[in-house]
Amino acid sequence: MLSSWKSAANRLRREIIAIFLACRDPRTPWYARVLAVCLVAYAASPIDLIPDPIPLLGVLDDLILLPLGVLILRRLIPNHVMADCRRQAARISRLPRSRLGAAMVVVAWAAAVVLVVWWAVMWVK
């Protein structure tokens, strides 16, 4: 059973890498690119919707959101583009690191925190 979980996790990791490559492909529609960037940023981000140290719930958001995002993106990205990107992803062991990408994730989470605080302050008034 553990080996089937590991193989499923490896398939999901390869699919996320393929989606990362597809969002850089000019043949991918803009709306699929936007969703793909969000999904890859969430997958690569050390900050989760529910922190991982929380037992069961911390991993549950990744187990639901990532496969759901992959499923949606499979329908939005043309099949021939995904096939090309899957072939490329098979040769890549991990997502490339990017300081700009990391900075964008930090800015996005900071903006989300500011919006939530602003909303809470307005709601209390």
> Exposed/middle/buried for 13, CB within 10 Å: 0-12, 13-18, 19+?
middle
Instruction: Decide if 76 contacts 31 (C-beta within 8 A).
Output: yes
Per-residue pLDDT of the chain (125 residues; tens, 9 = 90+): 667 777 877 787 888 888 888 888 899 999 998 888 888 777 777 666 666 677 777 777 777 888 888 899 889 999 999 999 999 988 886 666 667 666 777 787 788 889 889 998 888 87
What span, in angstroms and rounded, lies between the C-alpha atoms of 22 and 106?
23
pTM here? Answer: 0.62
Q: Where are the domains of the chain?
A: 2-98
